[in-house]
Amino acid sequence: MRILLLGPQGSGKGTIAKKISQELNMNHIDVGNILRSVPPSHPRYDELNKYMSAGELVPQDFVATLIKEHIAEIDPKDGYIFDGWGRSLEDLKHFDPNYDFVIVFELPREISIKRITGRRICSTNNKVYNIFTLPKEELLECDGELVQREDDTEEAVNRRLDIYYSETSKVIAHFESQAKVIRINAEPLPDEIVQNTISALKSRL
Ligand code: AMP
C-alpha cells in the first residue's frame, strides 16, 4: 500500500507519519529529512540549501532522483507512507508512486504559524520541543543546545504555507476526483490523530 500524507506545516505530519508507519509496518519516506541528509560535499548542496533555507521548493528532478535512490536501498515491507512528495502536481510528473490513499491533515493557519515558530530541536539528540507547549522543566531535560531550523522563521513559514495552500490544494483536488482522499482534524494530540487516521484507513480497506 502507498499512502501520501499532506498537511500544512505544524500539522504534526512528520511525528504522525513515524507512528503510523511503525504501527502498520510500512516505510516512512520523509522527503524533508532526505533533503536535510544531503552532505555538504554533494555538488548541488549549496543550491539545495539556498532553496530550503528560504522555504522554497527544491527543483523536482533533483528531489525525485534522491527519493528513487532512497527507495532502491530499503526493504519494501508492507508499503510506503510518503511525507512530502506530492506538494505540487509537478512532483508526480517527475515520479508517481501511484498512491492508494491521500490523507489530508487539516489545521487553521494561525495554529500552524504558532506551532512552527515555537519549534526547537535539540542539537544532540534531535528531539523536537516547542517553546509554547512544552513546560520549561521538560526543556531542561535536554542537555544539548536547542536550535531553530533555518526555515522555521515566521517569514519562511508563511512562504511554505502559501505554497501549501496554492500548490498542494491542486493535488488534493486531483485525488478527490479519484475518491482517494481521507481528511483528518490535526488539532488533537498526535496519539489521537494516529488512532483516528488508522481507523479511517481501516474503514476504507
Ligand atoms: P519539510 O521538512 O517537509 O517541511 O520540508 C522542508 C523543505 O524541504 C521544504 O521547505 C522544501 O524546501 C524542501 N522540500 C520538501 N519536499 C519537497 C518537494 N516535494 N519538492 C521540493 N522541495 C521539497
Question: Does residue 85 have its Cβ closer than 6 Å to ligand 1?
Answer: yes
Instruction: Please tell me the least confidently modeled range out of 85-94, 122-131, 136-145, 181-190.
Output: 136-145
Confidence of residue 186 (pLDDT cuts 50, 70, 90): very high
| Closest C-alpha residue for ligand 1 atom 4 | 32
Nearest CA-CA partner of 171 in 90, 112, 63, 94: 90
Confidence of residue 122 (pLDDT cuts 50, 70, 90): confident
Q: How far is the CA of 140 from the centre of ligand 1 (A)?
A: 30
Render pLDDT for 63-83 as a digit per residue (tens, 0 to 9). Answer: 999 999 999 999 999 999 999
Asked if the model's pLDDT at residue 136 lies above 60, the reply is no
Return the pLDDT at 123: 87
Most informative mutation of 13, 87, 116, 157 for ligand 1 (most atoms within 8 A of CB): 87
Asked if the model's pLDDT at residue 135 lies above 60, the reply is no
Asked if the model's pLDDT at residue 137 lies above 70, the reply is no
Question: Does residue 35 have its Cβ closer than 6 Å to ligand 1?
Answer: yes
| Closest C-alpha residue for ligand 1 atom 10 | 55
Return the pLDDT at 183: 98
Return the pLDDT at 127: 81
Which atom of ligand 1 lies closest to the CA of 30?
3
pTM: 0.88
Question: Does residue 63 have its Cβ closer than 6 Å to ligand 1?
Answer: yes
Question: What is the rounded average pLDDT of the residues 23-27?
Answer: 96
Return the pLDDT at 139: 66
C-alpha cell at 12: 504534526
Return the pLDDT at 138: 66
CA–CA gap between residue 116 and residue 109 (Å, rounded) = 11
Question: How high is the mean pLDDT of the chain?
Answer: 93
Q: Where are the alpha helices (DSSP H) in 24-153?
A: 31-36, 45-54, 60-72, 89-94, 109-117, 136-140
Dihedral angle, C-alpha 162, 5, 191, 111, nearest 10 °: 10
Q: How many Å separate Cα 2 from the centre of its chain?
A: 15
